[in-house]
């Protein structure tokens, strides 16, 4: 019981190696890494990771199905930036989306309410 019943188990027995690249020398602690993703909210349960502070960046060494090609704007979520790591250098290859990006292809239309047909009283 306790906290464990709040964390849904990962599907497909997937494993994502997770590192705190903002604080790599920090004291290792145990964390459950969660977030809004498709079938489950848990990336890793009870993992030893260098201490995580607000604003730190976590690196997933393998994304599995959670790569950009599977990304969508489900629930109006922004798609992430993409970074190509090549020859020990990071290269931004796609910018992070904004709210304006989500709205840019929507088309405003004006719908008129249906006109009511005049009723004709029954003739006697």
- Report the CATH number at residue 64: 2.40.37.10
State the residue for tokens 């349960």: 45
Has residue 118 been placed in a domain? Answer: no
What is the extent of the structural domain holding 72?
3-103
Alpha carbons 13 and 7: distance in angstroms, whole number: 15
Q: Is residue 121 part of a domain?
A: no
Q: What is the mean pLDDT of residues 18-44?
A: 85
For the chain, how many structural domains are there in total? 1
Query: In 3-state terms, what secondary structure has residue 84?
Result: strand
Instruction: Give the pLDDT confidence of 59-89 residue by residue, as tens digits.
Output: 888 766 666 777 778 777 888 888 888 999 9
Backbone phi, psi, residue 2, to 5°: 75, -140
Candidates 11, 21, 38, 83; catalytic one: 38
108 belongs to a structural domain: no
Place of tokens 């607000």: 54
38 catalytic residue (yes or no): yes
Query: Which pTM was predicted?
Result: 0.55
Q: Is residue 114 part of a domain?
A: no
């Amino acid at each position: 019981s306790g906290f464990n019943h709040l964390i849904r188990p990962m599907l497909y027995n997937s494993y994502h190696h997770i590192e705190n690249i903002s604080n790599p020398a920090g004291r290792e602690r145990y964390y459950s890494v969660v977030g809004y993703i498709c079938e489950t909210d848990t990336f890793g349960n009870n993992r030893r990771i260098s201490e995580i502070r607000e604003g730190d960046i976590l690196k997933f060494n393998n994304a599995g199905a959670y790569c950009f090609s599977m990304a969508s704007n489900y629930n109006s979520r922004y798609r992430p930036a993409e970074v190509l790591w090549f020859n020990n250098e990071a290269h931004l290859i796609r910018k992070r989306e904004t709210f304006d990006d989500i709205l840019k292809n929507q088309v405003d239309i004006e719908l008129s309410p249906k006109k009511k047909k005049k009723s004709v009283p029954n003739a006697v």
